[in-house]
Structure 1
Amino acid sequence: MYVRDLTEDDLLSVITPHLPHAEGVIVPSGDDCAVIPAPDGRYAVSTDMLVEGHHFRRDWSSGTDVGWRAAMQNLADAAAMGAMPRTVVVSMGLPGNLPVSWLEGFARGLAEACASTGCGVDGGDLVASETLTVSVTVMGDLERREPRLRSAARPGQALIHCGVLGRGCAGLKLLERGYTRETGVLPPTQTGLIDDFLRPKPPLAQALDACRENRIGAMMDVSDGLIRDARRMAKASNVWIDIRSSYLEQHVEVLIPVARRLGLSDPWEWAMKAVLTGGEDHGFLATLERPAERAWGPHTLALPEGFSRIGEVREAHAGGFITVDGRTVEYGGGWDHFQG
């Protein structure tokens, strides 16, 4: 059965039984608008889109994968502001030849991802389209905290990160070489990299806990690559950020077997570049509210749970400046929606 075989109401009846509601929802989806309580009096709001052929492929991704990913990238945006995700609204452009089973899987993936924070799915829209397109808008509750801004980095603060780096990039490279989660050829660690690309797992709880402890200065979601997103933080804060490659070795070592499998001439160099520039991991880049010690040792600071130190905010710099080990970065890397 395909989308073209059903009416809009029929399609909604397939999707909505799988979807949770926001806690305390006043008017659930099904009316002209859902009505959601805003206990803080403010909402942090963000929207992301996924377009088939640009952000996902159906021969790689199940409907459940895409539903999970569509939710998680939005939940991460809310958490990066220090806001607890409360609800999302979802709009989709559906081609007529899309199997209804794929759409039902999408709803399940969306619900599974939202369950990680108790987030609801409360409304949206379905339209006919030549291209499968998904748009998700998240509303997050700041819980009476001030939002965590990428413009809040200050000289002397430690640069810290929570989550994984380079795993999404490595998973994508394996998919491009024809490997899948189901082939049985890859060891579990490398199969896991593919899963991390198809279903990113941002450490939402750790990011939100760090904000509740009031220890975070600046923070942002790392979705387009560490260098690219750190540069955005540096530019917004007008500071020089220096990343230390030695603090990234735990991420690099995971990727070296992939580089060898791909037959690359310098596995370490490729793995380090993937860590610095690969996107779609959705971890969190932040600075510590308290000034960093002079010592560079990774264990000299009491870090929020789940975070590790990866560098330092060195000094003020108009327009922002990024270095790795004190040296200018010659490449931007990362994902750009219009440059590829």
Structure 2
Amino acid sequence: MTTETLASLSEGDVLSRIFPRLPAASAQLLGPGDDAAVVAAGDGRFVVTTDMMVHGPDFRLAWSTPHDLGWKAAATNLSDVAAMGAVPTALVVAIAAPPHTPIEMIEGIADGLRDCCAALAPGCGVVGGDLSASATLTLAVTAFGDLQGRAPVLRSGARAGDTIAAAGVLGEAGRGLALLFRQAVTNDGTPDAGLAEAVRAAQPGLIAAQLAPSPPVGLGAVAARAGATGMLDVSDGLAIDAGRLARASGVAVDFDSGQLGDDPDAVLHGGEDHALLATFPAGTALPDGFRALGVIRDGAGQVLVDGQPHDQRGWDPYRGWDGAAG
């Protein structure tokens, strides 16, 4: 049987194959087919964010299935919308792929986008995008969200005395990635699909946390309604992202080591968790799904653990995992 590739199909053919697989958005007034979509803007404002995934620095085809890629591309953007206290409403997706790419891969990506939206942000859908050719498989997603009449929750709102809390899993994505680099590469360091499948079978939770994360998207709006003063998505590591919140707010984030679990280093410095890190006024009952990690103190952009300065090492796209801030 001959494999259909992107080069054997026209752009119109490819679109006709993936449009039926993509989810419609509840806020969609006009979907794919024209030069642009039309989406309802809720209370008259919308939150917008964008993120890219590039083969090599962001994923390995030997490790990720097409469904994983679509899921993760959606999840990382949905989490950013949630971190503003908004409800995701629509995605715009651009895919650049080598012409020899089998059409089944693009269909699988579309299925991942659909399933992630259905699981993490019901009502959010894909309203448009673009297709192009490239030597490197690249996915770019732009996400929109509805604040539902609330003020956005910013990184700059934390105040001394606030409780710092998290929702979602911390540390497992980084542990999953480390496991793949240890056990799913050949002797010369090349990622290997067969080895990756064995690792996935042995540690499904850790590998899913890295390749197809499930951030607590719905808890962003919950935190906003509960009075969160500051919030952000933990994508590059808890320590480095906490430092960003600390600098934006002009405070110090002081983590209680007793709340960081059995592997504090993985929790503090593992990346791609896509948990939500939020601050709440002292005495506020934390919403279900959030757990206290420490307290906000007077300071100037510091990250502390048990009152002692801690490095803000995490992921930087230009410096890798050894980048430290502050």
Match of 2:189 in 1: none
Indicate how the Cα distance of structure 1 residues 50 and 24 shifts in structure 2: closer, same or farther if over 3 A, else same.
Answer: closer
Separation in structure 2 between the aligned mates of residue 16 and residue 185 of structure 1, nearest angstrom:
30
1:44-193, aligned counterparts within 5 Å? 44-115=47-118, 116-117=120-121, 118-179=123-184, 182-183=197-198, 187=202, 190-193=203-206
Separation in structure 1 between the aligned mates of residue 309 and residue 228 of structure 2, nearest angstrom:
26
Q: Is the 8 A contact 2:84 2:220 kept in 1?
A: no
Separation in structure 2 between the aligned mates of residue 195 and residue 212 of structure 1, nearest angstrom:
30
Indicate which of 194, 207, 212 corresponds to 2:207.
Answer: 194
Question: 1:13 Cα deviation (Å)?
Answer: 1.1
- Residues 8-17 or 72-81, more deviating: 8-17
SS in 2 for 1:291: coil
**Structure 1 position 321 matched with structure 2 position 302:** yes
Question: 1:7 Cα deviation (Å)?
Answer: 0.8
Match of 2:24 in 1: 21
Indicate how the Cα distance of structure 1 residues 97 and 178 shifts in structure 2: closer, same or farther if over 3 A, else same.
Answer: farther
Question: 1:26 Cα deviation (Å)?
Answer: 1.6
**Structure 1 position 287 matched with structure 2 position 279:** yes
SS in 1 for 2:166: strand
Question: 1:207 Cα deviation (Å)?
Answer: 2.7
Separation in structure 2 between the aligned mates of residue 147 and residue 304 of structure 1, nearest angstrom:
18
Match of 1:255 in 2: none
Identity %: 47
What is the number of residues matched between the two proteins? 305
Indicate which of 285, 305, 308 corresponds to 2:288.
Answer: 305
Separation in structure 1 between the aligned mates of residue 140 and residue 183 of structure 2, nearest angstrom:
28
Deviations 1:110-151 (A, max 9, x none): 011111312010000001111111100000000000000000
Separation in structure 2 between the aligned mates of residue 138 and residue 24 of structure 1, nearest angstrom:
13
Gaps of at least 5 residues in structure 1 are 253-270, 293-300
Separation in structure 1 between the aligned mates of residue 174 and residue 149 of structure 2, nearest angstrom:
36
Question: 1:208 Cα deviation (Å)?
Answer: 2.0
Gaps of at least 5 residues in structure 2 are 185-194, 321-326
Deviations 1:249-292 (A, max 9, x none): 2xx3xxxxxxxxxxxxxxxxxx321110111010000101x224
Q: Is the 8 A contact 1:181 1:195 kept in 2?
A: no
Question: 1:169 Cα deviation (Å)?
Answer: 0.6
Question: 1:61 Cα deviation (Å)?
Answer: 0.3
Separation in structure 2 between the aligned mates of residue 67 and residue 185 of structure 1, nearest angstrom:
18
Compute the RMSD of aligned alpha carbons. Answer: 1.5
State TM-score, norm by structure 2.
Answer: 0.90
**Structure 1 position 36 matched with structure 2 position 36:** no
Q: Is the 8 A contact 2:82 2:219 kept in 1?
A: no
**Structure 1 position 243 matched with structure 2 position 255:** yes
Q: Is the 8 A contact 1:161 1:310 kept in 2?
A: yes
SS in 2 for 1:97: coil
- Residues 78-87 or 1-10, more deviating: 1-10
Question: 1:184 Cα deviation (Å)?
Answer: 7.2
